Amino acid sequence: MTENIIEVRDLVKHYPVTRGIVFKKTIGQVKAVDGVSFELKAGETLGVVGESGCGKSTLARVLMNLERPTAGQVLYKGQDISKLSGGALRRLRRQIQLVMQDPYTSLNPRMTVGDLIGEPFEIHPDVAPRGSRRSKVKELLDLVGLNPEHINRYPHQFSGGQRQRIGIARALALRPEVIVCDEPVSALDVSIQAQVMNLLEKLQAEFGLSYVFIAHDLSVVRHLSDRVAVMYLGKMVEIGTEDEIYERPTHPYTQALLSAVPVPDPTLRDNKAIIRLTGDVPSPVSPPSGCRFRTRCWKAQDICAQEVPLLQIRRGSDHPSACHFAEKREIVATHEAA
């Protein structure tokens, strides 16, 4: 459990904002991910939560090496993946696979399920010799709970939850060590969402997979994750075990986020202490100076505008938090519900 399979160091990804067509000129940077460090251990699930625009999907893209980082490193077993190319990169890609959010647009409508799931074998012929591919695909279909006889069907003949299973089967085809799941259940209905979450857990136990599980739904993340990282506007504001983040959060943003989660229990509606944040997330083109959360934070002081709080373990706490005034606070009565 202690070996680091992925290590991310000071990862930065900026996208240029340009003006003009002929005389294109860069007028700013969207600071999508701005200095993020963490590690993923073998066999664990790291949940990444945050609201839209916080950089979680950009993080997924950089982890997959679909985007080259502006600065910083992503190390897979000590090897910097953004430096790889050609055959070495192709070999690495086998080890890290992606499950995408939208099962409707991430599957080519003109390919059969067999072709979709079998496509990775075309690119990596050494994994499965040509003759055995169809039976491998059938095996994968069975594994994710689909009928192997549906191998010749097209994506439109499946429901949303089934399509997400196809996406998972495709990610599993090359027997990767790491799967990055970018909002894998957020497009699904509750009853279907639970089926897919159970499947992900089963597969992890069976193949010893490591997951980076990106989602905005905090209860989904809690259910699946061993450790959780909270992101806000391109920065990681708090990271810790599932218990540390959900039971003893110290960053005001984490506290506000957790308290805003609607609890499916009407008897708690009157005694919930909900922290109401005002306003919206600022633009990642010109984030606030110092702490990026200060414009919505009720604890903000002068120091928050001047000094960027580092993600470090602070007094009276057991896990890193990027707040000058990090402290424990009693959150909603979620866990006392039972």
What are the phi and psi torsion angles at 311 (to 5°)? -80, 95
Residue with Cβ nearer another protein (153 or 223): 223
CA 136 to chain CA mean position, Å: 28
14 forms beta bridges with 31
Say whether residue 174 binds another protein (CB under 8 A): no
Binding piece for another protein, criterion CB under 8 A, among 66-74, 116-124, 173-181, 194-202: 194-202
Contact 146, 195 (CB under 8 A): no
For the window 128-167, what string marks contact with another protein as x by the rule CB under 8 A? -------------------------------xxxx-----
Binding residues for another protein restricted to 10-69, rule: CB under 8 A = 51-52
Contact 70, 35 (CB under 8 A): no
Q: Among residues 73, 80, 81, which one has the least CA distance to residue 35? A: 73
Minimum distance, C-beta of residue 288 to another protein, in the bound complex (Å): 16
What are the phi and psi torsion angles at 71 (to 5°)? -155, 165
Binding piece for another protein, criterion CB under 8 A, among 7-15, 88-96, 167-175, 192-200: 192-200
Tell me which DSSP letter residue 152 carries: G
For the window 253-292, what string marks contact with another protein as x by the rule CB under 8 A? ---xx--xxxxxxxxxx----x-xxxxxx-----------
Break the chain down into helix, strand, coil percent, rounded to 5. 35, 25, 40
Binding piece for another protein, criterion CB under 8 A, among 58-66, 80-88, 163-171, 183-191: 183-191
Structure tokens of 124?
């990596």
Minimum distance, C-beta of residue 231 to another protein, in the bound complex (Å): 12
**Distance between CA atoms of residues 259 and 191, nearest Å:** 24
Minimum distance, C-beta of residue 58 to another protein, in the bound complex (Å): 17
Q: Which residues bind another protein (CB under 8 A)?
A: 51-52, 159-162, 189-195, 197-198, 201, 216, 218-220, 222-223, 242, 246, 256-257, 260-269, 274, 276-281, 334-338
